[in-house]
Amino acid sequence: DTEVTQTPKHLVMGMTNKKSLKCEQHMGHRAMYWYKQKAKKPPELMFVYSYEKLSINESVPSRFSPECPNSSLLNLHLHALQPEDSALYLCASSQGRQGNRANYGYTFGSGTRLTVV
Amino acid sequence: GNSVTQMEGPVTLSEEAFLTINCTYTATGYPSLFWYVQYPGEGLQLLLKATKADDKGSNKGFEATYRKETTSFHLEKGSVQVSDSAVYFCALIPSAAGNKLTFGGGTRVLVKP
């Protein structure tokens, strides 16, 4: 299995809703990432989990809350979002060790297209 | 810091034309270099990579050579198809500890029949 699976593919939510994005990989990768991508822009890093611990938070607002229940799963909990949070949210995974990460790169999921109304 | 600069698009060309997308980088040490492709409405797919100077990455008819002397990793394809229409991102991972994937701005390519 060489895929990163993200669900749902599309999500429309109101500003008072609570929802979650899910990401799963079975490649044995020990680093997992959340990215946000606005139209016509490159992905922007939000969070990094390394060996199931949060290692990087790129100053993301607290209305986004990541969770890594185990080495295969990554969630992003959403609450009280704003319309400007509408974007494509991408999950990625990579080898845990720095050297292997550089050798093999990251594997990305197909993303969740989020619309906040 | 680390950065990647790509030629701005969109690049519009006809089927069977030659494609070049320029990419240059700034990084300390010896980064690994990548090209990712994003088809409309989809996530990113790794297209090819090179991990050391003079390495050539290739996949699906695309090629790129890691040029340390010019800090470049230009993407080329000899004969494009309509199905190659996508956004292409050049990226690097530095060799130093704490390395993160750094993207260029992306280049949109439109191939017309």
User: Tens digits of per-residue pLDDT, B40-74?
Assistant: 989 999 999 999 999 999 999 999 999 999 999 99
Q: CA of B103, closest CA in chain A: separation in Å? A: 7
| Residue of chain B whose alpha carbon sits nearest to that of A44 | B103
Task: Tell me how far apart the alpha carbons of residues A97 and A21 are, in angstroms, rounded to a whole number.
Answer: 26
The pLDDT tens digits for A36-88 are 999 999 999 999 999 999 999 999 999 999 999 999 999 999 999 999 999 99
Do the Cβ atoms of A31 and A105 come closer than 8 Å?
no
Question: Element (H or E) spanning A99, and its range?
Answer: helix A98-104
Do the Cβ atoms of A107 and A90 come closer than 8 Å?
no
Give the angle B101-B107-B110 at the CA atoms, nearest 5°: 140
| Residue of chain B whose alpha carbon sits nearest to that of A36 | B43
Residues of chain B neighbouring A103 (CB-CB closer than 8 A)? 32, 51
Do the Cβ atoms of A113 and A11 come closer than 8 Å?
yes
The pLDDT tens digits for B71-80 are 999 999 999 9
Q: CA of B17, closest CA in chain A: separation in Å? A: 24
Between positions 49 and 68 of A, the ones with CB within 8 A of B are 56
Q: CA of B16, closest CA in chain A: separation in Å? A: 26
Residues of chain A neighbouring B93 (CB-CB closer than 8 A)? 101-102, 105
Helices (H) and strands (E) in chain A, counts: 1, 11
Neighbours of B19 (CB within 10 A): 19
Residue A115, amino acid: T
Residue A75: both structure tokens together: 């969630």
**Buried (b) or exposed (e) across B22-54, using 16+ Cβ within 10 A?**
ebbbebeeebbbbbbbbeeeebbbbbbbbbeee
Residue among A56, A102, A111 whose CB faces B95 most closely: A102
